[in-house]
Amino acid sequence: MTFTANILILVATMTAALAFTWLMNRLWPVARRYAENDLVGWQLSVLGTTYAVTLGFMLYTEWGDFKSAELNVELEANSLRNIYRLAQGMPHERAEIEKLTMDYATDAIERDWPEMARAQRPDESHAVNERLWKVLLSAHIETQMEFLAHDHALSELSLLTQHRRARLMDGVYELPGIFWCVLMTGGVLTIISVSIFGARQLRMHILQVMSLTLLITLVMLAIADLDKPFQGWVRVSDYAFHRALETMREIP
């Protein structure tokens, strides 16, 4: 989601929580809720603790997946850069391999990332990847040095293909709906429990409701953004491929 969409959701959620608290005070006055505070407080303690653990675990998991996606992109770009360097050991195919590796980096930057940002599957870099396989598998090997360079290039190309496939999977993977149901239900129940609590000071009660709603909504938005590592406001950058392209251009 975009930054604007996050702000709108945050404002809408806090407005809804404030409206519910106001409605609760009108339908069930605070003075009549004092007697229920022990029960509501116990429920809020158990519910809040359970939800906090669930929310924290989900945020930690999504952050870990996001960092894994970042690392995978770095490794993909690194394999591409290694293939470019190893092409120097294969003089017959060097020019073609160097051109294909630079085409791969260019396609990743100019086409793959914009398409993944629109939740589309990129195909351009896949075509370049296939051509790299054909070139290396049909390479003309004469010397021991060429054999070693060719063997290492095939290993790096295999890693490149693996990392690209992982990148595509990271782009389409989504948090299962049942987990979103748990997060949404827990958040709603927690906010309702805080709103029901009979506080003597209305301003302090509203402050508590708004602060808790703000925290829960921010964490939920963070989970939603991290859940799609190549889309929205927070996403994996294509900097690794920019750097790889610059490095390849600097190699004589």
Q: Where are the domains of the chain?
A: 3-250
Tell me if 77 sits within 8 A of 244, measured CB to CB.
yes
State mean pLDDT over 189-215. Answer: 81
Query: Does residue 37 have a pLDDT over 60?
Result: no
Among 200, 181, 180, 184, residue whose Cα is nearest residue 16: 184
Q: Which of 51-65, 82-96, 148-162, 188-202 has the lowest mean pLDDT?
A: 188-202
Q: Give 46's pLDDT tier (boundaries 50, 70, 90).
A: confident
Measured CA to CA, the distance from residue 60 to residue 37 in angstroms comes to 33
Query: Does residue 80 have a pLDDT over 70?
Result: yes
Query: Does residue 41 have a pLDDT over 70?
Result: no
Among 229, 213, 222, 188, residue whose Cα is nearest residue 58: 222
Measured CA to CA, the distance from residue 133 to residue 54 in angstroms comes to 45
pLDDT per residue as tens digits for the range 209-239: 899 999 999 999 999 999 999 988 889 999 9
Task: Report angle CA 232, 235, 240 to the nearest 5 degrees.
Answer: 145
Measured CA to CA, the distance from residue 114 to residue 24 in angstroms comes to 47
Residue type, 111: R
Measured CA to CA, the distance from residue 27 to residue 236 in angstroms comes to 48
Among 176, 163, 182, 178, residue whose Cα is nearest residue 54: 182
Among 124, 123, 135, residue whose Cα is nearest residue 84: 135
Query: Does residue 199 have a pLDDT over 70?
Result: no
pLDDT per residue as tens digits for the range 159-192: 999 999 999 999 888 889 999 999 999 999 888 8
- Kindly report the pTM of this predicted structure: 0.86
